[in-house]
Structure 1
């Protein structure tokens, strides 16, 4: 049996009761619904639900490409014939045998829902299920309309109703697809939101007395396309007057009334007017992929499953603000408690919910810390534990002594085994910090002096680790400036290596590289070329070859952005130190990897350097949970960083380095910004920023934090140019 909202005929009261779980047919899939969006279409059509996401619970005998536990979504299109002219040309919404979720067949307001397997949307990694739900309707609606407009990259599309729920998504999708956006809405607040938060290029108030003239003037003759998501009639008439000759008007909103236009002008100006409906499964998957890549913001409220009748009541009274997502799950509480306030999902989860943690282990102080992290751009070390990390600490009941116990602590061992599997290295060792990890690795590689370490002159191990190399390893350092200004290449390294044979110089014993450095990737190609060359250098008999070490403080950011695997990248290195408190969001710690012989020796130096800890299991468990939570979020963090960089560049900021991952480094001199003002303007908006000009993004940066950052930097550059 399962819980469901049952509604038999229009006008009946919705019943929340238990009903049997259906059995999927040969070509169908049964989905255990975790979240379901609530759309106004549900209210006006049948109240059945068509924005459900969850896990595959069962499937029919003819289903070959889905497995139990796969994440899928059920949207408006539940079943089609699959063979008609519309289905065969990708126009499934026009199929004459179309069956609609929650309207013609039972929808997603139940714990288990059935749909045809071919129409089940595959939910990619990198997006939370509750954020994916609204995309199955609102997101695909505007993305499909964008495709129907035929607007090309670089051309301008006008979004009418840009300040609403659909409009805000439409603006972001249009920018993600490379279009210029003219936002039409009304009011000062909407203007600020469209220009600063949504990235629109232009704004016009559609209540203005001379809308047509303003639009034509701003766009140089009119937008190439117009998407109307507003639900009032007047903007439809306005669009026919200002759209560019040969342009397209796409109607999405459904206001009462009729559209009338000057047919002569429409024909002679070759204006296309068309309606747009939802997209098919593949277009929905495209929309999800673009949303993740571009860091598009989805706004929604999560409420308890049992609250649906109250939600409909608010909708009918016009009191509903924002979009609602029901938390369905296996065991609904049947209570009226609201689970969360408005979530702004950048696919960076800032949830404050703590109802799953026994004893309410997320105190108010941690909630405040999460809020603070949402506007802290100093570093990605400023993140605080998530719910899953706190839960992992509670559940880490191993409490072994990692020094005295012969086998060590079970949680630490499990984490080290996890890292070994990820990196492909023989052994891993949990250490207290990135600095400790780097210095242990360097000291472990080195034997009797003299010896030299070759590295980028900006490298963390040299500049930011308190002069540890000469103190702890008795090594000199050869710093190299990359000729391309971004990262080292073989051309930089080849002639700076000191081989043995000349007693006037300390021979090079280690080449230490860093990925990322100031957010810039050291590409696999260059790392591999340097490594191959270094490993080809002959050394005297009985001496170890030159070692390759990687300061991988933000290695996970680098390989994610470059789309290579950790194993591929670390094949180039004999050792690496991977920080867990930066992009990973762990409370503390790093992990070093290498051969078993190397790690056995490193344990000795870890003890010497004060890194032999006792009940480390809870910290290792926290690091493991943080890794699981944050790794899927990194593409979204990078997309958000690029989005803000694009905005800053558009308003006049120059950058010192390319924006590859999660950092923007402002060139203060070229931009004409004083460092102290960068800090003070940030503080004025409740933000934390370093005076160096480096802005660091992480998984707890909030949409509100981004909005305040953009406003602060717009004010700053505007004021500086006035001086």
Structure 2
């Protein structure tokens, strides 16, 4: 599912302006991972690399950036401790001092390769956009703090405190128990340092007699100074105000050379150190401190295309806090700064002449915002930009019944599904329920007959009793012994063979994947299928058939790391929902043999599934498939992060969290379903009282964070009752 091309910021030679262009997506080596970058912080090192300020000559056609976070999209054969969808950050240093974004391609691209040993796991409790600056800026200042040897309650001066590095340095110093003297310039930076960052003192380093002012406000000078400024003068000032025996740690990279009064340095026993980024373990420490202390990373999320504007602000001294690029989506160019988390709400629809059309209505924007915190189901997603474009720009408006050969857009979509699943034919239907019931009715010819299935199966429990009404079939409901999914041991003793006229024989075994978000693994599906297809039947009878309710099959195969074709080789038919993980506005698709689909079309007409002008629906489904499938690993990773957090604070689950669902065991946890709905509502979230929380591609990081806060409040209050 990986694309062959991607967007990246590239500069060809030393000192040239960056260029946003498309380049190939690389393939990871044996000990490497390919990371789908979601966010990448921007720091002065990136600017210096672009301008050619460093002594070494950078690689030509270099992709810049070195503090990116995202999801593992692929990995090499020697990588065993990471899986697809894991959230990781890329360290600034590669082995043998291959600097990311300067000597090797960096994180200003949609897919970035790094050594697996340098991939830092992003823990629960921090958003990706907030984690990005920590991977360079955070670990840089945390390492510098350790190098300064400053003790708790001692004073450390942060020079350049109002910038991206400085804002983090102030907060890390406070979190580690130090007193902070912030040196920056201007009233805005003063307010930010004292009130937002919690600094104890502030001095304007552009004022007169800076050294005397520092000594006055600190009672003799700071015990240490960390200089993150890109200006040369503060380095000289620090040697004049540092307390005897103090340490000056140089982090910033201004042009020029540092000179000092050697006599004063020796007699005052001043230590001068250079400090660079820490290692992987120190990065994990820095992330843990940030989460534990709960301080905020000062950043602005900007569109991927705005990198040159950020560089301009850096050179002009206009940056406040850190800039974080939103890399995960295609660049739109010309976008202004976004809020702390991003949502794809403004659509740029194309008219027939290629000119931009109208943006979407406010009502759809509001629906997207609501979907970001709607955990009731993965059917609650609303059309994305590609889906809306596909609907508006649909080129076929045929009648799927009257037109000979059907609608071309529908045929194209069905062909795509046929290729994806490896089946002979596919048929677009209106819903998952309709798809399941058409399949079962198509397989069943003359009663008496029985369908064997999991007693919790959707086709039995949630489809309004359609099986006995439409197919005249009885049901054998089986409870899995492992409490999660059916195995061959569950199935083989419950199959009713023909020959005893007291019982209707089993004609269909219907399995479901996923069920409550839990996977029915390929191994068990294959074992059941091999056994069922070899059950003895009378001469002239067809073998027992295998049907799959694959409403969330694409979620399952993505999480298991297999293909849909591999899985569907175990089944004669399947129904796959398009309005769940795929995010289509409506519809499902059923697959099977050509003969099976020809007969299914007859039942589709009988069940009211014949449609007019279906091309728009098929175009929307195809666009949703292309847009949403690459996002499933991210959805799964976010679900696991929230599940890990909930488990730590006392929640128990009914099922494993394999894909996009968390099913809370309300009884064991000791919370009420009605209370769950109520607490979620307080935080602007939607949930059902059953305890099932469904994640989807439009759930935002903010929505997940609000869910964690709501359920923390819930379990604390319920335990007090």
> Which band: TM-score by shorter chain?
0.5 to 0.7
* Residue 452 to residue 314, structure 1, CA distance change in 2 (3 Å): farther
* Residue 301 to residue 713, structure 1, CA distance change in 2 (3 Å): same
3-state SS of the aligned residue for 2:174? coil
> Does the CA contact (< 8 Å) of 1:303 and 1:340 recur in 2?
no
Please point out which of 338, 342, 363 is paired with 1:341: 338
- Structure 1 residue runs of 5 or longer lacking an equivalent are 23-33, 51-57, 60-71, 78-88, 102-115, 124-128, 148-152, 173-184, 187-203, 213-229, 235-250, 262-272, 284-296
Matched, 1:41 2:39: no
Q: In structure 2, what is the equivalent of residue 532 of structure 1? A: 530
Q: In structure 2, what is the equivalent of residue 353 of structure 1? A: 346
Taking only aligned residues, the RMSD between alpha carbons, in angstroms, comes to 4.8
Q: In structure 2, what is the equivalent of residue 166 of structure 1? A: 133
Could you report, residue by residue, the CA deviation over 1:324-382 in whole angstroms, capped at 9, with x for unpaired residues? 4699999x97xxx535623636xxxx322323543224221111111100000000000
* Residue 252 to residue 380, structure 1, CA distance change in 2 (3 Å): farther
Q: Kindly state the Cα deviation for residue 319 of structure 1 after the two structures are TM-superposed.
A: 2.8
Q: In structure 2, what is the equivalent of residue 93 of structure 1? A: 97
Please point out which of 383, 395, 402 is paired with 1:385: 383
> Does the CA contact (< 8 Å) of 1:303 and 1:326 recur in 2?
yes
Q: In structure 1, what is the equivalent of residue 194 of structure 2? A: none
* Residue 707 to residue 19, structure 1, CA distance change in 2 (3 Å): closer
Equivalents in 2 of 1:584, 1:692: separation in Å? 24
> Does the CA contact (< 8 Å) of 1:682 and 1:712 recur in 2?
yes
3-state SS of the aligned residue for 2:684? coil
Q: In structure 1, what is the equivalent of residue 615 of structure 2? A: 617
Equivalent positions of 1:101-112 (< 5 A) are 101=102
Could you report, residue by residue, the CA deviation over 1:208-232 in whole angstroms, capped at 9, with x for unpaired residues? 79579xxxxxxxxxxxxxxxxx999
Q: Kindly state the Cα deviation for residue 637 of structure 1 after the two structures are TM-superposed.
A: 0.6
Could you report, residue by residue, the CA deviation over 1:463-509 in whole angstroms, capped at 9, with x for unpaired residues? 00000000000000000000000000000000100010011100000
3-state SS of the aligned residue for 1:536? coil
- Structure 2 residue runs of 5 or longer lacking an equivalent are 1-8, 24-37, 55-59, 68-92, 140-151, 154-170, 180-196, 202-224, 230-234, 248-272, 284-296, 351-355
Equivalent positions of 1:234-273 (< 5 A) are 254=228
* Residue 451 to residue 260, structure 1, CA distance change in 2 (3 Å): farther
* Residue 252 to residue 406, structure 1, CA distance change in 2 (3 Å): farther
Equivalents in 1 of 2:699, 2:20: separation in Å? 42
Equivalents in 1 of 2:575, 2:22: separation in Å? 50
* Residue 15 to residue 577, structure 1, CA distance change in 2 (3 Å): closer
Please point out which of 207, 212, 223 is paired with 2:174: 207
Equivalents in 2 of 1:171, 1:476: separation in Å? 63
Q: In structure 1, what is the equivalent of residue 447 of structure 2? A: 449
Please point out which of 405, 417, 426 is paired with 1:407: 405
Q: TM-score, normalised by structure 1?
A: 0.65
3-state SS of the aligned residue for 2:581? coil
Equivalents in 1 of 2:659, 2:529: separation in Å? 23
3-state SS of the aligned residue for 1:509? strand
Q: Kindly state the Cα deviation for residue 92 of structure 1 after the two structures are TM-superposed.
A: 3.9
Q: Kindly state the Cα deviation for residue 20 of structure 1 after the two structures are TM-superposed.
A: 14
Please point out which of 370, 373, 392 is paired with 1:372: 370
Q: Kindly state the Cα deviation for residue 321 of structure 1 after the two structures are TM-superposed.
A: 5.2
> Does the CA contact (< 8 Å) of 1:340 and 1:353 recur in 2?
no
Equivalents in 2 of 1:209, 1:512: separation in Å? 58
Give the number of aligned pairs: 539
Could you report, residue by residue, the CA deviation over 1:271-292 in whole angstroms, capped at 9, with x for unpaired residues? xx99555999xx9xxxxxxxxx
Please point out which of 576, 598, 601 is paired with 1:600: 598
Please point out which of 558, 562, 569 is paired with 1:571: 569
Equivalents in 2 of 1:19, 1:169: separation in Å? 23
Equivalent positions of 1:7-26 (< 5 A) are none
Could you report, residue by residue, the CA deviation over 1:228-270 in whole angstroms, capped at 9, with x for unpaired residues? xx99999xxxxxxxxxxxxxxxx99947669968xxxxxxxxx
3-state SS of the aligned residue for 2:591? strand
Q: In structure 1, what is the equivalent of residue 313 of structure 2? A: 312
Q: In structure 2, what is the equivalent of residue 562 of structure 1? A: 560
> Does the CA contact (< 8 Å) of 1:42 and 1:49 recur in 2?
no
Equivalent positions of 1:130-529 (< 5 A) are 144=118, 166-167=133-134, 206-207=173-174, 254=228, 276-277=276-277, 300-302=301-303, 305=306, 308=309, 311-312=312-313, 316-320=317-321, 322-324=323-325, 337-339=334-336, 341-342=338-339, 344=341, 350-355=343-348, 357=350, 358-529=356-527
> Does the CA contact (< 8 Å) of 2:519 and 2:556 recur in 1?
yes
> Does the CA contact (< 8 Å) of 1:373 and 1:700 recur in 2?
yes
Equivalents in 2 of 1:91, 1:231: separation in Å? 37
* Residue 274 to residue 654, structure 1, CA distance change in 2 (3 Å): farther
Equivalents in 2 of 1:533, 1:21: separation in Å? 50
* Residue 171 to residue 580, structure 1, CA distance change in 2 (3 Å): farther
* Residue 170 to residue 496, structure 1, CA distance change in 2 (3 Å): farther
Q: Kindly state the Cα deviation for residue 8 of structure 1 after the two structures are TM-superposed.
A: 10
Q: Which moved more, 1:695-704 or 1:394-403?
A: 394-403
Q: Kindly state the Cα deviation for residue 397 of structure 1 after the two structures are TM-superposed.
A: 1.1
3-state SS of the aligned residue for 1:323? strand
Q: In structure 1, what is the equivalent of residue 626 of structure 2? A: 628
Q: Kindly state the Cα deviation for residue 641 of structure 1 after the two structures are TM-superposed.
A: 0.4
* Residue 232 to residue 343, structure 1, CA distance change in 2 (3 Å): closer
Q: In structure 2, what is the equivalent of residue 227 of structure 1? A: none
3-state SS of the aligned residue for 1:453? strand
Q: Kindly state the Cα deviation for residue 401 of structure 1 after the two structures are TM-superposed.
A: 1.0
Equivalents in 1 of 2:246, 2:399: separation in Å? 79
* Residue 459 to residue 99, structure 1, CA distance change in 2 (3 Å): closer
> Does the CA contact (< 8 Å) of 1:42 and 1:48 recur in 2?
no
Equivalents in 1 of 2:626, 2:515: separation in Å? 24
3-state SS of the aligned residue for 1:341? coil
Could you report, residue by residue, the CA deviation over 1:648-696 in whole angstroms, capped at 9, with x for unpaired residues? 0111111111111100011111111011110000001000010000000
Q: Kindly state the Cα deviation for residue 312 of structure 1 after the two structures are TM-superposed.
A: 1.2
Q: Kindly state the Cα deviation for residue 631 of structure 1 after the two structures are TM-superposed.
A: 0.8
3-state SS of the aligned residue for 1:207? helix
3-state SS of the aligned residue for 1:377? coil
Equivalents in 2 of 1:168, 1:556: separation in Å? 33
> Does the CA contact (< 8 Å) of 2:639 and 2:660 recur in 1?
yes
* Residue 377 to residue 99, structure 1, CA distance change in 2 (3 Å): closer
> Does the CA contact (< 8 Å) of 1:35 and 1:130 recur in 2?
no
Q: Kindly state the Cα deviation for residue 449 of structure 1 after the two structures are TM-superposed.
A: 0.5
Q: In structure 1, what is the equivalent of residue 188 of structure 2? A: none
